[in-house]
């Protein structure tokens, strides 16, 4: 039985991923990393209230078999350029690095169609940079979804 790590469980895409993980009998535990308390309740789920400004503090909890990263924002919801970069670039890169250092074997990342590290727009550029980081870390299995 596997342990899944899920970042973004309270969002639209992450919520669907969480439902699939709950129904999948290959997973005995699902660790969800959230900013604040949540009403999500299932015997498989372990809720980890997470300080995303200090992910190193949670390094020991970011352990499992597979990581699913579904965190994202919009410029409308994060108009501050630094905060936008932190959410779209810095946090996903740091989570990937921590999971790799903790020997997580598989990493699945919700990116974007047309992601490109050389894009002139921040959104596509950040998604492309994160993809490059993940690919460079050498996970056993990598899934990059480009909806």
Give 36's pLDDT tier (boundaries 50, 70, 90).
Answer: confident
Superfamily of domain 2-145: NAD(P)-binding Rossmann-like Domain (3.40.50.720)
Share of the chain above pLDDT 90, in %: 88
In the sheet that holds 27-34, the strands lie side by side as 45-49, 27-34, 2-7, 66-69, 106-110, 141-145
Among candidates 88, 83, 96, which has minimal Cα distance to 119?
88
φ, ψ at 6 (rounded to 5°)? -130, 120
pLDDT of 40 reads 85
Neighbouring residues of 145: CB distance < 8 A, sequence distance ≥ 6:
108, 109, 110, 111
- Look at residue 30 and tell me whether its pLDDT is greater than 90: yes
Segments making up each domain of the chain, as ranges = 2-145
| Residue where the block lists tokens 């129904």 | 23
**Taking residues 27-51, what's their average pLDDT?**
93
Give 52's pLDDT tier (boundaries 50, 70, 90).
Answer: very high
């Amino acid at each position: 039985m596997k342990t899944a790590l899920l970042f973004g469980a309270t969002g639209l895409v992450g919520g669907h991923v969480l439902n699939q993980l709950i129904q999948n009998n290959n997973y005995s535990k699902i660790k969800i990393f959230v900013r604040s308390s949540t009403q999500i309740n299932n015997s498989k789920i372990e809720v980890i209230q997470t300080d995303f400004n200090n992910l190193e503090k949670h390094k020991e909890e970011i352990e499992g078999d597979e990581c699913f990263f579904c965190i994202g924002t919009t410029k409308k919801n994060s108009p501050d350029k630094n905060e936008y970069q932190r959410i779209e670039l810095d946090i996903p890169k740091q989570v990937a690095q921590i999971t790799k250092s903790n020997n997580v074997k598989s990493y699945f990342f919700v990116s974007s169609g047309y992601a490109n590290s050389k894009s002139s727009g921040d959104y596509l550029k950040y998604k492309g940079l994160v993809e490059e980081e993940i690919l460079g870390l050498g996970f056993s299995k990598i899934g990059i979804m480009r909806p």
